[in-house]
Each structure stands twice: as structure tokens, then as C-alpha cells.
Amino acid sequence: MTYERRLKFNPLRWSKFETSFLLLILHELSISSHKNKKLDLDISVEIKLSYINGLSRYQEELIGLIEDFRGKSWTFKDISEYLISKGYRSSRDKELSPQLVHHMYKKYLRKIKRENYIQISMDKTSIK
């Protein structure tokens, strides 16, 4: 018996990929367990390694604060005023205006999305 299947999963569905893959194998092996079986797999993994230029500790701390406050529904103006009152400045020693805080946050979200890109596919799976 031969099955050809193409599965594509993004990082958020990795556990589903593992489960689907294991169930497929277990099902095929249980049909006639007394026979020897041959398993052929082609698995491709594509990732983007853009994390090489990471954030400094100061930038991580600053972004962490911005993320926390955004999670509490603070506006960028409120976040900016709070950070200025605590003596924070940008990594290039500029005052943290609401626009700069917004730009830093959006840039960080794009970076996270880019770094978390993983494409996994399984092609031409067959059990004989």
C-alpha cells in the first residue's frame, strides 16, 4: 500500500504536524503488523536565520516594557511618557516620542515574525 501525501505546517502548527505524522505511521504499521514494512520519507525544512543581529540587553529591556504596557492597552503616548519619566532613552540616545515608541514596537513585531518563519513539508511519503 502506498500513500503520497504533502503536508505543510507553519511553526504554530508544529504539534499538529507531529501528531498527523505519527498517526499516519502508526495506522499504516498496524494494518498488517506481521509483515516487514519499508518507510520512505522526504521531509523538507525551510527556516530563515535572521536572528543573527540580535537586540542588546538594553533594547530587550525597553521592548519588554513596551510589550507589557501594550498588553495592558496603554497608548504609545502613555508608554512614551512613562519611559521618559523613568529616564529611558532610545539606543541612539534620543528622547522616546510616541512615534518612536510605535516605530520600535512595530519593527520588533516584524523582526519576531521574520525570525519565527519555519516551513516544514513532507512529500512522497510511502509505506510498503
pLDDT digit string, tens, across residues 69-114: 999 999 999 999 999 999 999 988 999 999 999 999 999 888 887 7
Q: Which of the pair, 59 or 48, is modelled with greater confidence?
A: 59
Please indicate, yes or no, whether residues 64 and 106 belong to a single structural domain of this protein. yes
Domain count, the chain: 2
Is 2 contained in some domain?
Answer: no
Is 1 contained in some domain?
Answer: no
Phi, psi torsion values for 43, nearest 5 degrees: -115, 130
Is 81 contained in some domain?
Answer: yes
Q: Which CB contacts under 8 angstroms, 24+ apart, belong to 99-106?
A: 101/66, 101/76, 102/76, 104/62, 104/63, 104/66, 105/63, 105/66, 105/67, 105/70, 105/76
CB distance 110 to 48 below 8 Å: no
Secondary structure (3-state) at 40:
strand
Residues of the chain with pLDDT > 70: what percent? 51
Please indicate, yes or no, whether residues 110 and 63 belong to a single structural domain of this protein. yes
Alpha helix (H) residue ranges in 9-56: 14-31
pTM of the model: 0.53
Q: Which of the pair, 14 or 22, is modelled with greater confidence?
A: 22
Please indicate, yes or no, whether residues 65 and 111 belong to a single structural domain of this protein. yes
Please indicate, yes or no, whether residues 79 and 111 belong to a single structural domain of this protein. yes
Please indicate, yes or no, whether residues 64 and 98 belong to a single structural domain of this protein. yes
Q: How many CA atoms lie within 13 A of 127 on its CB side?
A: 17
Please indicate, yes or no, whether residues 105 and 123 belong to a single structural domain of this protein. no
Domain range holding 31?
A: 7-48+119-127
Please indicate, yes or no, whether residues 40 and 80 belong to a single structural domain of this protein. no
